[in-house]
Amino acid sequence: MSIIYDGSIDKIVYKTVFGETMEAIANADSNVVYLDADLMGSIGTTGFWKRNPKQAINVGIAEANMAGIAAGLSAAGKKPYLHTFGPFASRRIYDQVFLSIAYAGNNARIFGSDPGVAAAFNGGTHMPFEDLALYRAIPHSTVIEISDGAMLEALMWQVKDRSGLTYTRLTRKAYPTIYSKDHKFTIGKGEIIRKGTDATIIACGLMVGEALAAAEKLATDDINVQVIDMFTIKPLDVDLVLEAAKTGIIITAENHNVIGGLGDAVASTLLEAGVAPKFKRIGIEESFGQVGPQDFLQKHYGLTAENIEKTLRDIL
């Protein structure tokens, strides 16, 4: 077992992990080309760019062009990695990603940072609540949300030789540490990070830590809640969802619009399998983003352990 969560905040900042891992991947494979749209300073890759300008390319503030260049690089046998903030990596360049990369049969690994309320002080313009929905709708896409520093490093390596389009959303800050450094992740397989028989919380990203904290609180009242880190939103781990339904209650929790994200994916899986546990989606409801500290935003949108706990108690 390599779940090491104890509720404390990891001191490993993801942007450090991203920068170091990205450079290590490029050093290991000369076909890797990392592209960024003038946000290298934000994701820890400036040093890599200065040291290796052939494999780290700053396209300037031109995200659509970045997606198209990635398509051309892929068509010539390269393995492009792209980074920009989540809203630009999704809404702004959707047609370029959809056609030049996915429809054309090219491959790319797109990283959108500051998912949902993690954009905090950059405010509503920089706050993607719909990136998972947009990427889920692209045929044959892989859609991931990172919940832990060890996971980020492991999955950045794993997607290197993955075919097609992969979208990964990640914070630049730090979430609670959940996994040991040597934990083995399989894309498409969720992780049961807490066992329980009374209900299941299926969460991703930021909400995994919140779900664990809620489960701890409920445990003090002898309510034993299972927590699943569904870090691959697509392809969804259908078997695990159906197994979780046996607990009779499923709550999904995501730092994303409830429309089109993890909750919808789980709901349609259950319904199509003819399984109907008590069910509730926690996420952003019919709202745009806004500016503010992340803890304020989490409370405002109900993205907290307290809200998960209350929701579960209401169902029970």
Partner 1 sequence: MENLKEIEIFAAKIRLETTKMIGTRGFGHISGSLSVADALAVLYGGVMNVRPNEPNWAERDKLVMSKGHAGPAVYSALALRGFFSMDWLATLNQPETRLPSHCDMKLTPGVDMTTGSLGQGASAAVGLALAQKLDELSSRTYLFVGDGECNEGQVWEAIMFAAQHKLNNLVTFVDYNKKQLDGTTAEVIDMGDIAVKFANFGWHTQNINGQSVAEIVQALQNLSSNMPNAIILNTTKGAGVSAISDVTLNHHMVVDGDLLATAIAECEAKLAELGVK
Query: How many chain residues touch partner 1 (CB under 8 A)?
Result: 29
Q: Min. distance of Cβ 80 from partner 1 in angstroms? A: 8
Cα 181 to Cα 14: distance, rounded to the nearest angstrom = 14
Long-range contacts of 264-271 (CB under 8 A, 24+ apart): 264/133, 265/136, 265/233, 265/234, 265/236, 266/202, 266/230, 266/236, 266/241, 269/236, 269/238, 269/241, 269/242, 270/241, 270/242, 270/245
The yes or no reply on residue 139 touching partner 1 (CB under 8 A) is no
The single residue among 84, 90, 100, 171 that binds partner 1, judged by CB under 8 A, is: 100
Q: Min. distance of Cβ 22 from partner 1 in angstroms? A: 17
User: Which region, judged by CB under 8 A, interacts with partner 1, from 38-46, 75-83, 129-137, 178-186?
Assistant: 75-83
| DSSP 8-state assignment for residue 245 | G
| Inter-residue contact 160 to 149 (CB < 8 Å) | no
Q: Min. distance of Cβ 34 from partner 1 in angstroms? A: 12
The yes or no reply on residue 241 touching partner 1 (CB under 8 A) is no
Q: Min. distance of Cβ 57 from partner 1 in angstroms? A: 8
Which one, 7 or 72, has the nearer CB to partner 1? Answer: 72
- In degrees, rounded to 5, the angle at the alpha carbon of residue 203 between the alpha carbons of residues 197 and 209 is 95
Q: Min. distance of Cβ 44 from partner 1 in angstroms? A: 23
Q: How many CB atoms lie within 10 A of CB 236?
A: 20
User: Coil, strand or helix: which one is 79?
Assistant: strand
Cα 236 to Cα 238: distance, rounded to the nearest angstrom = 6
The single residue among 45, 84, 96, 247 that binds partner 1, judged by CB under 8 A, is: 96
The yes or no reply on residue 137 touching partner 1 (CB under 8 A) is no
| DSSP 8-state assignment for residue 138 | S
Q: Min. distance of Cβ 270 from partner 1 in angstroms? A: 35
End-to-end CA distance of the chain: 30
The single residue among 9, 28, 104, 271 that binds partner 1, judged by CB under 8 A, is: 104
Which one, 55 or 298, has the nearer CB to partner 1? Answer: 55
Please give the residues from 7 up to 66 whose contact with partner 1 meets the rule CB under 8 A: 33, 54, 57, 59-60, 62, 64-66
Cα 12 to Cα 19: distance, rounded to the nearest angstrom = 12
The single residue among 91, 105, 161, 271 that binds partner 1, judged by CB under 8 A, is: 105
The yes or no reply on residue 84 touching partner 1 (CB under 8 A) is no
Which one, 99 or 267, has the nearer CB to partner 1? Answer: 99
The CA R_g of the chain, rounded to the nearest whole Å, is 19
Cα 258 to Cα 55: distance, rounded to the nearest angstrom = 37
Backbone dihedral region of 181: left (phi > 0), alpha (psi from -120 to 50 degrees) or beta?
Answer: alpha
Q: Min. distance of Cβ 71 from partner 1 in angstroms? A: 5
Q: Min. distance of Cβ 69 from partner 1 in angstroms? A: 4
> Which residues lie near partner 1 (CB under 8 A)?
33, 54, 57, 59-60, 62, 64-78, 80, 95-96, 99-100, 103-105
